[in-house]
Amino acid sequence: MKRSAVLSILIPGLVGALASVPAIADNVLYDNTVSGTSYETGGIGVVAGFTAITDSFTLPQDSTVTGAMFGLWVGSGYQATSVSWAITTDPFAGTTLGSGTSNVLSSVNVPTTAPFATGDGADIDQVFIAIPNLALDAGGTYYLELDGVTSNDPNSIGAYWDESDGPSAAYSDLVPYGSRGIAGPSSASQSFQILGTEEGSTVTPEPSSFLLLGCGLLGLAGLVKRKLGP
């Protein structure tokens, strides 16, 4: 087989392999965990059937939100499975920019020596959820609201959103579930990150994408070798 013919196979194959590499766009747009993924050893905010927590964040430039990470205390040995969320312009009021119930995409148990409430019975998970692409403008103050957390703990009625020493302003509604409207007393700042892409940012391929690309190139190289012969 002529080399020109081989190149006619190889070049389109390389272009196709590169085009098929997925890109990950989940940059950290806002970080309220103080030191990245640290969690407090003290008080907690309630996220259960009768209480919702909302916490503020701002964005330095126009962005598209694609997910969130937060710390949740759940029953020892269990994990959160879903959470109801909303992003609004005011705590429990104003305009709702996006809302829904998302399954937990992944959770990582974070070792801690912190007591839970009176001292026992819970673990803390670093939880990730997806948020359908939500375009937000720079400079505005937005609020991430969490409630209705479910877990695989049959004895649990919810979970607890971990506190942080971050700069954000948090509020608890302190009213029965489904009766939102007026924010209750200010709560301690909570641990969370807002994930997504900034306008004009360059997406970064995830490591697994490079691995897939490498495997594809090796396969193409083997094909070329077979076509050219020994």
Average pLDDT, the chain: 73
pLDDT digits (tens, 9 = 90+) for 119-144: 456 778 889 999 999 999 999 999 99
What pLDDT, on the 0 to 100 scale, is given for residue 150?
Answer: 87
pLDDT digits (tens, 9 = 90+) for 52-100: 889 999 999 999 999 999 988 887 788 889 999 999 999 888 899 999 9
What residues contact residue 2 under an 8 Å CB cut-off, 6+ apart? none
Domains of the chain, by residue range, sit at 3-21+206-228, 24-203
Between CA 41 and CA 129 the distance in angstroms is 24
What pLDDT, on the 0 to 100 scale, is given for residue 130?
Answer: 96
Which two three-digit tokens encode residue 83? 């959470």
CA dihedral over 142, 145, 151, 155, signed as positive or negative? positive
Q: At 11, give phi and psi (nearest 5°).
A: -65, -50
Cα→Cα distances 100→51, 82, 85, 166, Å: 17, 10, 6, 25
Contact 131, 64 (CB under 8 A): no
Between CA 192 and CA 129 the distance in angstroms is 11
Between 7 and 189, residue with greater pLDDT:
189
pLDDT digits (tens, 9 = 90+) for 17-41: 434 433 344 799 999 986 555 565 5
5-9, 77-81, 146-150: least confident range: 5-9
24-203 topology per CATH: Jelly Rolls (2.60.120)
CA dihedral over 35, 39, 43, 47, signed as positive or negative? positive
User: Per DSSP, which regions of 77-228 are E strands?
Assistant: 80-90, 93-109, 122-136, 141-151, 158-162, 170-172, 186-187, 192-198, 204-205
Does 104 have pLDDT greater than 60? yes
